[in-house]
Amino acid sequence: MFRQEGNRLVRDIYGEMLCIEPWGNNSLRVRAIRGDRLLDVSWALDTEPVNTTEVRITIDEQYGTIQNGNIRATVRYDGLTTFYNQQGKVLLQEYVRNRNELIRYCSPLNIPAREWVPHLGGDYSLTVRFESDPNEKIFGMGQYQHGFLDQKNCRLTLEQRNSQASVPFYVSSLGYGFFWNNPAVGWVSFGKNVTEWHADLTRQMDYWITAGDTPSEIVEQYAEVTGKPPMMPDYAMGFWQSKLRYQTQDELLGIAREYKRRGLPLSVIVVDFFHWTNHGEWKFDPDYWPDPEGMIRELKSMGIELMVSIWPTVAKDSENYDEMDRKSYLVKNDIGITTHMEFTGNLVFFDATNPEAREFVWQKVKQNYYDKGVKLFWLDEAEPEYGLYHFPLYRYKIGPALLCSNIYPRYFAQGFYDGMTRAGEDKVINLVRCAWAGSQKYGALVWSGDVDSSFRGLREQFAAGLNMGLAGIPWWTTDIGGFLRGYPDDPDFRECIVRWFQYGAFCPVMRLHGERMPHRKPLGTKGGGLFFSGADNEVWSYGEEAYEIMKKYLLLRESLRPYIKKLMQEAHEKGTPVIRPLFYDFPYDSAAWDVTDQQMFGPDVLVAPIMYEKQRNRIVYLPKGANWKNTHTGEVIQGGRWVECEAPLDVIPVFTRAGSSVDFSI
């Protein structure tokens, strides 16, 4: 029943094979399948890492045990598994609701810990259950628009959608990290009574668990097995300017020149969607962008990089559709007509899971953008954003969408990363609207999608950004001011965007974007003139008071670039989140685990954003173990206490760790 295969513990019973093996320091990979042979698929665990801790396996008639460093798994004869840390404390235990004479607890419910429900044709839906500790706190899981930092008692769909990025790794307050290594569509419920992971369609169970004394140890061990980001290029650490949408080359250059005329720092400016001739042609429309090379040369002379929007959509009347369809480079429909999105026509998505399709798209992009000087791409619609999120309809090269759809955005990012590194780029960064585990190693800067332009939207993005970092994606950003709506002349929105801008100065990337109302009319009826634009969205577009405040934080961001570079180096080397909850740096301060509306920006800067309208003061917790300098008043305060901070419109409460090299005033 139990056997050892090399450094693996294997158990066969009732037609299921369970395999547990070391996978990185203090970590185990757990797989199970209905059958006698595991599937050779890695998903995000692409390369088995070098293991430097001793692995011990023991077997008797009733139990099998495997220990790898600080984590131990014990498997009962019936397959139920319990994970322990080095002190013998239970970290996680499979759900026990059946009769068993070998344990004290018996139940007539007969609810299995691993429930396989067969589909006609051979695959399964799978539900995996674990015991729940009601006092546990759970952080990570990617980006969800519910506003909660602690995911305990939440039910999360494992689906990629506009503004939702499912990255199924979490850090537990009990001292472990858990990764559901399965890109299938499904859900997870972190209930008070039970934790359940569900895949609608899958072929095997696959998860990874690690033990650590601190959140940083857990996150770093996860980064070792799923990947770390490249080093961020220096220019990306400054300010990015964007709007919906600069309609012409002259308009964009005029904005860049105005930033320079005003003496304002600007690192990146963006050419958004519908600058192209058609969906799936991936090139500038010469009617509106007649001289891309000249435009890029002028921008570079001002120290500004150009970012260009790339959509994975292909119109059925585009010049590339027939070839891509013939060569199976497009996502297919299992049922009905192949149309995935109706947006100025009938559109389909290219199949990013197909390496040949990725190469085809990259070659078009290289010819029409990269070779002209564009080194930064905005990979929009990366979920992909189906007009109908009914995943049973769609099929990729690697399988039906139900089985693997969540990995699509990672392959989308990989196609550009592979092409750019082959072309000689060693610091790849691309803005991507979605991610899955491992996206970070392909230079993915994830942003939070088309979110609402409101204080509620700001609060939701604050929690999403922290959870994204803890899920292994250190590069994250949000549309400052939100995307949907936002009237520049509205005093209430001006307050919102000022507060969002202040928070944005302490995000991994500071990027202004948004729809902005009212819309401007299209310039034409086809190509780059087909779509409307939004109202002005530059820092001077919101009145003189807002402008002076935004200018203040632009200059502050610029002054912090040496510090930010150190944070990006740490992210590159260890996978460390750039923004993180207080407990990441102060894990032994129990109060820090309860603070959900403050963040650390690196180890030395504590940020307490203003996220409610008309708020002009707030309470801030200063963690134990450090003294803190109020950057507004200059007062130095001993940690381990709550303080009340004044927050007039031009001030965001920020504290620096006393004695650190970071010193600035607000």
Q: Give the active site residues.
A: 380, 383, 450
* Pairing mode, strands 205-211 and 239-241: unpaired
Question: Around Cβ 525, how many Cβ atoms within 10 Å?
Answer: 7
- From edge to edge, which strands make up the β-sheet containing 2-5? 2-5, 8-13, 16-22, 27-34, 205-211, 176-180, 165-172, 138-143
Distance CA 277, CA 270 (A): 17
Amino acid at 189: S
Alpha-carbon span 407 to 253, nearest angstrom: 37
Pairing of strands 654-657, 16-22: unpaired
Angle at 104 between CA 103 and CA 107, to 5 degrees: 90
Asked if residues 181 and 166 have their Cβ atoms less than 8 Å apart, the reply is no
Q: How many CA atoms lie within 13 A of 168 on its CB side?
A: 31
- Angle at CA of residue 665, ends 257 and 587, nearest 5°: 110
Mapped onto helix, strand or coil, the DSSP state of residue 432 is strand
For the beta sheet containing 444-447, the strands, ordered from the edge strand earlier in sequence to the opposite edge, are: 476-477, 444-447, 430-432, 376-379, 305-310, 268-271, 239-241, 510-512
- Nearest by Cα to 648 from 486, 488, 499, 454: 499
Tell me, what DSSP letter sits at residue 119?
Answer: P
Beta pairing partners, 430? 444
Q: How many residues does the chain have?
A: 666
Q: Which residues contact 308 (CB under 8 A, 6 or more apart)?
A: 270, 271, 275, 369, 374, 376, 377, 378
What sign for the dihedral angle of Cα 190, 463, 427, 605? negative
What is the spatial distance between Cα 609 and Cα 460, in angstroms, rounded to a whole number? 12
Pair of tokens at residue 479: 């549309």
Q: How far apart are CA 144 and CA 151, in angstroms?
A: 10
What would you report as the CA-atom Rg of the chain, rounded to the nearest whole angstrom?
A: 25
**Distance in angstroms (rounded) separating the CA atoms of residues 244 and 515:** 5
Nearest 10 degrees: Cα torsion 598, 602, 606, 612: -40
SS3 317: coil
Sign of the dihedral defined by the CA atoms of residues 216, 217, 222, 227, in that order: positive
